[in-house]
Amino acid sequence: MSKEKKHNEYKETEPQPVEQTQTELEKALTEENEKLIAETETLKAENEKLHKTVKRLQSSADKSDIYLNQLVAMKNDFESYKRRMKFNNEQAKAEGIAAVVTKLIAVCDNFDLAKQHLDGDNLKAFEMVYVQFAQILHEFGVEELEVIGKPFDPLKMNALSKVDRGEDNKDIVVEVYKKGYVLGDKVLRYAEVIVGA
């Protein structure tokens, strides 16, 4: 091998000057740093977009919750309204029946008075009509109060007077002057009675 060739080989492998290597390294680092800064800016922009999207979604979710709560409240109000209407309708129906039946009770009193003055075939025909009339009242839920021989109850009876009928009949209903009637738990007419003293 010639000296010159050895020298060229030596030159090729000979280290680069330190200054040139540092400049290339700084240049590479600067480029890398600029790339990182650009990526950081891009990520910041995307992050801001995501924050705005999250805020919009949160706002929409909050509105949805408000609308859902309003819908639930409206549903509950409507259910309450339906219950009130059903109750009011039932109450109005019961009051209507009570008003009509109360007037019909006076007819029952007249039947009782008329029965006392009839006999024979007239009485049988009359009793058939009376039984039919009483059956109609019963279908509406009207019941006659059974009070004879029972203790006086001021919630269902009016005492017209007290008479002495012995110790066994003290505070017991001994006579009925006017029959009492109830419709379910409601007293349509109080029984007018005479109570033992």
pLDDT tens per residue, range 40-99: 999 999 999 999 999 999 988 988 999 999 999 999 999 999 999 999 998 898 888 888
In this structure, are residues 106 and 143 in contact, taking their beta carbons and an 8 Å threshold? no
Note if the pTM is more than 0.75: no
Alpha carbon distance 86, 76 (integer Å):
15
Long-range contacts of 164-167 (CB under 8 A, 24+ apart): 164/196, 164/197, 165/196, 165/197, 166/196
Strand order in the sheet with 186-189: 142-144, 181-183, 186-189
The pair of three-digit structure tokens given for residue 66, joined into one six-digit string: 């408000």
Question: What is the C-alpha radius of gyration for the chain, rounded to an integer number of angstroms?
Answer: 52
